[in-house]
Amino acid sequence: MEIEIATIGGYEAVGRQMTAVRAGDDVVIFDMGLNLSKVLIHDNVETERMHSLDLIDMGAIPDDRVMSDLEGDVKAIVPTHGHLDHIGAISKLAHRYTAPIVATPFTIELVKQQIKGEEKFGVENDLIKMEAGETMSIGERNELEFVNVTHSIIDAINPVLHTPEGSIVYGLDKRMDHSPVIGDPIDMKRFREIGREDNGVLCYIEDCTNAGRKGRTPSEAVARRHLKDVMYSIQDYDGGIVATTFSSHIARVKSLVEFADDIGRQPVLLGRSMEKYSGTAERLDFVDFPDDLGMYGHRKSVDRTFKRIMKEGKENFLPIVTGHQGEPRAMLTRMGRGETPYELDDGDKVLFSARVIPEPTNEGQRYQSEKLLGMQGARIYDDIHVSGHLRQEGHYEMIDALQPQNIIPAHQSLEGFAPYVDLAENMGYTVGRDLHITRNGNMIKLTE
């Protein structure tokens, strides 16, 4: 059987991930994401109203025109988890394929919301929920399996396409977490089994994000302990404490909510995306928040809540807000600019349970936000966080478990590939033979 891989997006930078695998006549697409920094750089674009081709030209969504060179039928579109760099282009591209979107329940729900917000195209692909550990047939001879992984968003999987020539493991976005705060540990047992199957692993596509960092990425349990230490250390403070984190990071939001309660403050979630992700996770029973936890997204209800906090005393509350990267329109940035009814005083604490995504736009915006908060007297607690991506020893363990015949590094720039290439070459792979460095829009033929 002919196996071919189209590396469509995410092979030159982090963002707009999209890969297609053709096994015989069947094609499966993994991810259809957005490149957020290309959107942020044009401050006022409303992607909801933009046409696909304009977004492709901006570098915001994958250039899927290479799909016409793949001779097969698309049987499924498979987003691996709900981050926007993996699902953000579905509303712009999925309608071009007559195939269902197959994902885990939380991811499907986020896809559904994204499609609803789309104003240009009517995306009517079927949405199929499939849990980690389950499989579905792809055509006559191939099978799709979801293997549970741990990442900075709940319900993440790595999809595996089993073909007569061996498996294709699409390994984007995971950390090896054996004690995640929500959900099951990464299923390393299953990865090791897949590595030992008769035909083995024909190809492993891997996210190189932290390949340059030594050791292993700590568990979410470590970030939780760090957060607990910080919050307990300021429990006697009788002024304002404000926290921010990735709104899609439900495990972290859960820890913030719990520790707020421990130190005698009422947590409240503020900002549109805080309401969206936490509300969705609670509705789908991934997390059990206290009954009286307030979640407010709309400007008016947020301002009303801030006014109530100021009236009843800042020392009784812990607002958990958007704006961890200093995004200009997010809640924390507005607080820094003095645009909300919440007044910061000298000595008030601001907790960033996030790290700055190392990218110039974010770095600049975050710098500005911290300075504005500091000018109002806020004390900053930074970097209470662990990454969602594997470091070197995690990468080593994955290659060791899967023993793939071919490896394709992804989810990075050429510079970002380099440390991963070093690691793989040390493990016996060779660039140009079984280690394939590629760019967006290329085709790699694995078997004739």
Q: Is 387 annotated as a binding residue?
A: yes
Indicate the residue type of 110. Answer: L
Q: Is 88 annotated as a binding residue?
A: no
CB 106 to Zn ion: min, Å: 13
The encoded tokens of residue 78 equal: 């498979």
Strand partners, 145: 135, 160
By CB under 5 A, how many residues form the interface with Zn ion?
A: 2
Q: Is 86 annotated as a binding residue?
A: yes
CB 87 to Zn ion: min, Å: 10
Return the H-helix or E-strand segment holding 102: strand 101-103
Whichever of 38 and 83 has its CB closer to Zn ion, that residue is 83
Return the H-helix or E-strand segment holding 393: helix 392-402
| Tally of residues, the chain | 448
Q: Does 249 bind Zn ion (CB under 5 A)?
A: no
CB 148 to Zn ion: min, Å: 15
What's the sign of the alpha-carbon dihedral 100, 184, 276, 20? negative
Read off the DSSP letter of residue 9. Answer: E
The residue whose two tokens read 């760019």 is 439
Q: Is 162 annotated as a binding residue?
A: no
CB 15 to Zn ion: min, Å: 11
Whichever of 265 and 385 has its CB closer to Zn ion, that residue is 385
Whichever of 83 and 334 has its CB closer to Zn ion, that residue is 83
Q: Measured between alpha carbons, how far is 104 from 131 in angstroms, rounded to an integer?
A: 5
Stretch that binds Zn ion, among 42-50, 166-174, 213-221, 316-324 (CB under 5 A): 166-174
Site string for Zn ion, 76-105 (x = CB under 5 A): -------x----------------------
Q: Which of 25, 32, 18 is nearest to 3 (CA)?
A: 25
Q: Is 85 annotated as a binding residue?
A: yes
Distance of CA 283 to the CA centre of its chain: 20
| All residues at 6 or more sequence positions from 428 whose CB lies less than 8 Å from its CB, including other chains | none
Site string for Zn ion, 291-310 (x = CB under 5 A): --------------------
Contacting residue, 64, 155, 173, 187, with Zn ion by CB under 5 A: 173
CB 152 to Zn ion: min, Å: 6
Q: Which of 191, 184, 157 is nearest to 400 (CA)?
A: 191
Q: Does 411 bind Zn ion (CB under 5 A)?
A: no
Whichever of 99 and 157 has its CB closer to Zn ion, that residue is 157
Q: Is 226 annotated as a binding residue?
A: no
Q: Is 411 annotated as a binding residue?
A: yes
CB 143 to Zn ion: min, Å: 25
Q: Which of 393, 402, 352 is nearest to 217 (CA)?
A: 393
Indicate the residue type of 152. Answer: S
Q: Is 395 annotated as a binding residue?
A: no
CB 71 to Zn ion: min, Å: 31
Q: Measured between alpha carbons, how far is 162 from 319 in angstroms, rounded to an integer?
A: 46
Q: Which of 339, 47, 30, 342 is nearest to 169 (CA)?
A: 30
Annotated binding site for Zn(2+): 81, 83, 85-86, 151, 173, 411
| Interface residues toward Zn ion, by CB under 5 A | 83, 173
Annotated binding site for substrate: 385-389
